[in-house]
Each structure stands twice: as structure tokens, then as C-alpha cells.
Structure 1
Amino acid sequence: MKSTSLSLIAGIVALAAVTGFAAATAPGDGGTTEAKTATRLPVERSSLLCPAPGLSDLAETTYTSFTPAGGGGGEAGTAELKQSAATTAEDATGKGGSKGKKDKKTTDAGKPVVSLKEPGKPATADASGADTPALVGTATGRLAPGWTAQQTTTVEAGGGRGLLGVSCTGPDTDFWFPAASTAKSREDYVHLTNPDDTAAVADIELYGPDGSLKSDVGEGITVPARSSVPVLISTLTSEVAEDVTVHVTTRTGRVGAVIRTADDETGSDWLAASADPSGTLVFPGIPADATSVRLVAFAPSDDDADLNVKLLGKNGAISPVGHEDLHVKSRMTAGIDLKDITKGEPGSLLLTPARSNKSTPVVAALRVVRGKGS
């Protein structure tokens, strides 16, 4: 069996808020300027969203919820992941977004699927089948600082086969996804999950190798309150492209966003959102037995990006022959095949500006294939 793994840069979650107080008097008043030391306050509430893992009756999913010990004191609090009100993919792909139709097998959204009891001890739960909905979670009190959840799904057969792992994410208003595709062999869904009690409205923009892909139905997608909407990106445009960058923004509200990608030959996996655009990017953890590595990058600004590409291994940094640099045109998606770049040893990829005096921010992703045969 082949398995496709899509690795992207991830951001760091801030665990504390900084507050302070300052007082100043106008010149000539004879007063003094006084500033108090900033105070670190523990996080009191965290939100996480886990996408619907289904799309196959053979899907078997395990959830793991965890808060590290020593994150803070305060009240005991709770950390629970509950079912969202599922929305079918067919509802989501029409212009104007979802009609809010609920899945036939949606159960009581008020009952926790995973409930964490105390810091330092993980809680797990299992689910199976194609109708498992997305989860909406909230942590409070001493369970909030550093709260995280992981979703792992196995599908043993069919076009969606694979081992799919993704970290449940916090809600936001802006997401970048390099390495998606509208190719005939691919079936990529953007999963949008709304954690709030009011509807959110999202826009989805697509960018291929020649720039923006024309789409009239990617605007104004409604995500009902505490619901999840999967959108098949190939229905948003008639243009076919192997490498596509997906940009998700919200007009109102906030959502969690992640892409489930399935390939006829290599199976399926989750594609997490990239970090914010940056001039320097690091991709750690390319496995030693990678049989194919594809780098996809996108420059969201008005300037082109010129990048140096280096493989970091146990013996230092080397430039891959034939792919020492990468030119990414403004608002266009660039992709290159690095093949079996690791040559039997684990490594990491480093992208840096080709010119020290010019750093153009990019978003990028690696598509890693492991294994051979059927």
C-alpha cells in the first residue's frame, strides 16, 4: 500500500497573555512617568476544531486529547470535544454555500465525544464510518493552557485508503493551503468548521501555475452555527491544475479549515494549513524511505520570490542537483519534483531568500510519498 503524507509548516500556540499598565503626564506638569511590570496571565479558554474524518464506511478514527501538566492553576475547568451539526458535501458546493442540511446520522451534539479530566493524562475515543461528524471543542480553567487534540484515521481500501493524521486546529479568519490540486486523479475537499453560535461566511480563492483560477462559486460560502461544511475544490473551477494553492478567508465569523486530499494512485491524507507567509521556511522530518517528494510554493505578494533550496542531513546542508533554487512568480503556484531526495537518510528541507537584501514571503508545502507497488 502506498501512503501520501502532506507536511506543512505549523505555527506556535501562545500559552499566556501579557497585560500591563502605564501612566504618563504631559511635559511641564512636573509629574513623572510610571510603568508597572507586565503580568503574565494563564489562558482561561481554548478552542479546537477537528474535521469530519469520514468519506468512507471503512474509516476508523481515534481522537486523543491532552493538556500538559503544570500549565497553570485556577479552577478545574473542562476540556470537551463534541459533535458538530454535520452538513453534506452536496449542500456545500453550490453558489451561496450550504443550505444547512444535517446528515441523517447526526447524533446528540451535546454529548462529549472526548472529555479530558486532568492535565498530564491523555483522554482517547474511537469512531467509525463515513458519517462521523466534525468535532467542536472548548477547554476552560487549568485544562485550557496548551490543550491539544489529534485525530488519526485509517482507511484500509478504496480510493481514499491511507493513514490520515491531523492536529485539531483553532478557529481563525485566514488560511493558506499550498499543494492542493484540481487534477483528474485528485479529490480534494476543504473542510470548514464553525465553532460559534452564529453563521460564518467564507471565501475560497484558488491559484494555479498561471495565477488565479476563475471561480464564481467560491465566494460567500455559508457555514451554519456549530456546523461543518466540506467543499470539493474541483467544483469551484473548470480549470485543471496539478498544483493549486487554496486561500480561505472569512467575511464574517471564524472557522477551522483543513483539506482532505485523495489521489487515485497514492491514497489520501490531510493537508494542514501552512504558517503565515515568510521569507525562510523549514520542513523537518522527511522520512528516509521517501520515494517521492514534491515541493509546492506560492508568493502572495506583488513581488516574485527567489529561493535557495537545501537539504539538511546528518552531515550538513547540500543543494539538490538540478533544484538548487526555485523561482516563484507573484500570485502564482510553483511546484518541483525532488524525487527521492533523502537517498535513504532522514532529512529536512530549508528554503531561504536567494538574495540577502530581498526577502519575499511565501507559503509552501511538501507532498511526501512512501512505499512502492499497489
Structure 2
Amino acid sequence: MKPVIGITMGDAAGIGPEIIVKALTHEEIYQNCRPIVIGDAKILERVQPIVHSNAKINLINDPDEAKFELGTIDVIDLNIIPEDLPFGQVSPVAGDAAFQFIAKAVELAKSKKIDSICTAPLNKEALHKGGHMYPGHTEILADLTGTEDFSMMLTTPNLKVIHLTTHIGLIDAINSINPERTYKVVKLAHETLSRAGFDDPKIAVCGINPHAGENGLFGYGEEEEKLQPGIERAQAEGINVTGPLPADTLFFRAGRGDFDIVVACYHDQGHAPIKVMGIESGVNITVGLKGGIIRTSVDHGTAFDIAGKNIADEQSMIAAINSAIELAPKRKLRRKHD
């Protein structure tokens, strides 16, 4: 049975509505899954002529009412955004709505109405102005599911990266890294790839300092204090993990296939290589959510500067939906045998 993918609309003032409508014109999406948009039907109808789509918008209250047909976009309509919301502007209304779309998706995932969640981008400033003080999607999902041990994973066809820290300043990120966090993220990486079919996944951990500290030459022993004990604990459990290794060469080695996934210590250390490899094919995955909830996302922002202009490319959204499809059947199969 094809998995049901709940696609949240993100910030309605950004490119989310456009890339969703564009992605859902691709026949292969319907061949491989049953997509449902969780958002605002008025906005999707408004972008239809912009992106030259003639798909029918089908309003539903429950996934059981969906048609799942190419040419029809099934929408669970929360109806909380004004029809004349300006594109390309920060809006508290749109920020609050983006949060509500995610909350509805989590509700549906918890009740097994959808098999995974795929999110269009939100705008953090709008989110905060809308009253929701989260750094981003990952932290919202963790809060709504009661998850403490989670991480962000980024993927491209040739590179996978998981993070020890994400949306905090660099000094705070380094201060927050400790052996327990290192161990837990390495274990999350191992469990996630093992469930995805990797046999003994090869994991490598980046150093914090240049050249991974080079035996005390750079930094103040952060690798030995914050990373090494967690790596050794994972190794003692039979996890195939190496490090800390110099980040400047590690991503090249991973890209050529030496490792299946890289553990990055902070946001830009992991995000920059992924985006150089190809932002249009990048996918963001939240790892470790309670209840086995799967969430994938485009790896780009709301792009307010091009919103409503039919410029936005839907390839990252397609890649995110495909990642959700790839992961969802495995969860469904495990549930069947539980």
C-alpha cells in the first residue's frame, strides 16, 4: 500500500504553496504515495494561475476522504489565512498558521492517519511574531511529540550529515556539546541508517577545531573532552564510528563513499557542504521523534524575494517527498509485525 504523506504548507507568504502545487503535478509522486496537503485552500487556489496549474483543489476533513488522483490536490483546510495575504512579507498570521499546519500534521501522524510528514519552509521571524518562539521545524516537532533526544539530518544523493547542535550561536553550540550528546547522536545515526537498510553503517565525527585540534595544537582540548568519550562509548557497543576527524577533508571523503554519514558539531559545519553539493536536491530529516514519526523537508528557506513569481524550483520538495516515501513503508512494515 502506498504511504500517505502529509505535506504542510509552511509560511503562506513564501514559496511553499508554489512548490507544493508544482510538485503535485508530477505523475511519479502519485505513483509512489498518497499525498495530502495540510494548509489553506485559498492560498493554493491563488497560486494555481501563477504556476499555470489547473489541478482541482479538493477540500477534505480527514485523509479517508481524499481522492489521491493526479490532477486533484487533496487539502485539509485549516482556513486561518486571509485570502489577500501579501506574498514576500513577514506576517504574524502566516507565522502562526505555519505552526498550526505542523501541529495538525503531528496530530494526524500520532493517530496513524498519515505515514510521514513533509514540510514546506517556514519563516522564523514570522513564526516568532505569530507567538511561537522556536528556532525552527525540528524543535517544534520535538516539543509537540515530547521528544528530548533528537537531531537534524541533511541528505543529498552523495552525502548525509547529522548534527550535534543546530540553531544556536557558535559559542553556545560548542559549550553545549558533551560526551552524552555525542554518543546519543552517533547512536541515532546508526539506528536511522540501519532501519533504512544500511548494513553496519560507517559513521565519522567531525572535530570541533581546525585539524580536529591536532593533538592540542588548536583549541583547548574540546575533542578529547566533548567528543572522544562519546565516540568510544558507541564503539564499545559495536557501532562503526570513527573520529574526531578534520572537517575540511572529512566531507570530501564521505562524498566519495568512505563513510555513510558525517556527524557535524554545529550548524554551518554540516549545512555548508550539503548546500554546496546541491541545494535543489537537499533534504532535511528530523531524526529520533517519539512514536516513530518521520519528517522530511526541503533544505531551503521561504525565499520571500521570489514568492508569488513562479520562479521557485520544486525539485527539493520532490526530493523531500521521495525521502518521506522511502522511509514510510519501513515504518508501516514494522508496525504490521509489532
The TM-score normalised by the length of structure 2 is 0.30
